[in-house]
Amino acid sequence: MDNPCKMQKYDRQVRIWKAEGQYAIEQSHICLLNANTVGCEALKNTILPGIREFTVVDKSLVNLKRDGSNFFVQYDQEGQSRALCTSTLLQQLNPSAEMNYLEVEPEELIEKDIEFFSRFTIIFASTIKTDALLQLEAFLRTKGIPLIYYNSIGFAGIIRVSLPEYTTVQSQPEVPLDLRIRNPWPELINHVRTLNIGELDVTRRNDFTYIELLIYYMLHFEKLHHRKPETSNDRKILRDIIRQDINGQAPENYEEALSSYWRIFQEYKIPSNVMEVLQDEKSQDVNENSTDFWILCHALRRFYEERGTLPLLGTIPDMHSHTQRYLTIKHLYNEKFLADFGILKSYVQRALQCQKRPEDDIPDVVIKRFCKNVLNIKICRYKSIQEEFEFPNDLDTLLSDESSLLPWYLAFRISEQLFSCHPHASLEKESPIVKCELNNLFEKYSLKEKYKEKVLECIEELSRASGLEIHPVSSLIGGIAAQEAIKILTKHYLPINHTCIFDGVHSKTETFNI
């Protein structure tokens, strides 16, 4: 991102996923299997942010009855290669993206040359026969390559994200302040003690930050009671002491202290998402196959085991105080952050040495980013589609919810089964083949008969569309698929885990971990 023109071009998105996220996008090569409307919309929304290269695999010829809703097919291209037509127009969105296309059936390529897919960063796929899809997914999971599968028929759509695991240090929830008021480190305690706040008049006390005030009053309580404040009565005592000191006045820094005095009683606790990562077997022992993320987590685990805390984030909020006082306390927090960073870095270097990698193989900037976002680290593991088909979670319970979109999931399953095994069969709900597939599905998963009618209603809606796409719906489904791909590429935010259904009739979406 050193190029000023490129920086200006991608300025808005770089603000969201930073330079490292943009770099990851610019190194990616995305494969699209079948250039239908939803697939082109998904690819479009990854080409625009600046992917390096894309490849379209599709043997179909343009059929305007089927492809008329596709904005990347023109009316004078009837009978031409759909892979070529769509690739050419898609590249015009961002000429810096390299274009490739292959006029071959995806199923044939999967069967004859599955290694072909190992060159890609992410695979977009739609309308693939089930056996080929499962074969492709199994191969991609061994390579750690994400597969995003989707379908759009009429007013409904489905998206399925499949990858072995997703790790991020920037899951982006609202991060709580890490001020350590109840558990201050020695330098912060010594700083507060040197202030002699108790000997100053109210006017002079207005200069201090509420962090300094709260720690002062906590230490004062400890001196009087030989313990830290714990009970609800202690809360009342502390509040009364603070109010007595300001003698009926209401300086802004004391108002902040009174509104935040509960922090004195806030025990240090590691968030559940961080503890889940620390307890994962991959963070316990690292080996030559460990990624940088797991090496950092291994170092973090050692830091926590030896110190009982995580590295301090080093950030503080705006506070009413004298400027110099604020800068002093900010400097103390930053110094503690740098000290913790140094300790974590030493653990990282030891882990790299064990892997026979250079000590600086993980740069300081990456370790610092990890420290700054340590409360945001997250791991998500995804079921394979094969596992989902064989051992889905409790479908019966989900179907019992009247508002659930799960019937659409089963309707799409039946539609895809017909496409795979009976490509010329009608999707009409009265069709014997449809009824047979529905009965098989309900019997396989031991579902209650009363839910069949809901699924049949969804099948009827899919049948009404005759397998065709409506552009606004496909645009939405493709946009969501691209959004999940961007999350995976940039490692910002959390992708859906693992299936998302869209019901355009009622304008509803729902995500399932089936």
Q: Would you state the structure tokens that stand for residue 349, as one six-digit string?
A: 């270097």
Using DSSP bridges, classify how beta strands 499-503 and 156-162 pair: parallel, antiparallel or unpaired: antiparallel
**Strand-strand pairing, 98-102 and 53-57:** parallel
Query: What is the residue whose two structure tokens read 């509104």?
Result: 259
| Contact predicate 122/489, CB 8 Å | yes
Q: Where are the beta strands (DSSP E) in 154-290?
A: 156-162, 165-168
Residue 490 contacts residue 21 (beta carbons within 8 Å)? yes
Cα 118 to Cα 366: distance, rounded to the nearest angstrom = 27
* Residue 49 and residue 486 in contact, taking contact as beta carbons nearer than 8 Å: yes
Helix (H) or strand (E) segment spanning residue 325: helix 323-354
HEC letters along 8-23: HHCHHHHHHHHHHHHH
Going by C-alpha positions, the residue among 110, 112, 115 that lies closest to residue 125 is 110
Q: What is the per-residue pLDDT for 93?
A: 93
Residue 242 has what pLDDT?
80
Per-residue pLDDT, 265? 87
Q: For the chain, which residues make up each domain, given as ranges?
A: 4-164+468-512, 186-265, 272-381, 385-465
Q: Looking up tokens 């025990």, which residue turns up?
A: 267
**The predicted structure's pLDDT at residue 405:** 93
Q: 4-164+468-512 belongs to which CATH class?
A: alpha beta
Radius of gyration of the chain (CA): 29
Residue environment code for 223-257, b if the CB has 16+ CB neighbours within 10 A, otherwise e: eeeeeebeeeebeeebeeebeebbeeeebebbebb
Instruction: Report which secondary-structure segment, H or E, holds 506.
Output: none
**Which pair of structure tokens corresponds to residue 110?**
């999967």
How many CB atoms sit inside 10 A of residue 335's CB? 15
Q: Tally Cβ neighbours within 10 Å of residue 420.
A: 16
**Peptide bond just before 471 cis, omega within 30 deg:** no
Contact 106, 396 (CB under 8 A): no
What distance, in Å, lies between the first and last C-alpha atoms of the chain?
Answer: 40
Distance CA 109, CA 104 (A): 7
Task: Find the Cα–Cα–Cα–Cα dihedral 336, 340, 343, 349, rounded to 10°.
Answer: -130
Query: Residues with Cβ < 8 Å from 425, sequence gap 6 or more?
Result: 418, 431, 433, 434
Token reading at 125: 């796929």
What token pair was written down for 48? 């625009």
* Torsion sign over Cα 122, 124, 130, 132: negative
Q: CA 438, CA 411: separation in Å to the nearest integer?
A: 9
Q: What is the pLDDT of residue 250?
A: 66
Would you state the pLDDT for residue 386? 92
CB atoms within 10 A of CB 203: 9
Q: Which residues of the chain have pLDDT under 50?
A: none
What b-and-e string marks burial along 128-144, b requiring 16 or more CB atoms within 10 Å of the CB? bbeebbbbbbebbbeee
CA distances from 287 to 277, 281, 347, 364, 379 (A): 17, 12, 15, 21, 19
pLDDT at 114: 96
Return the pLDDT at 166: 94
| Per-residue model confidence (pLDDT) at position 2 | 58
| 264 three-state secondary structure | helix
Say which amino acid occupies 94: N
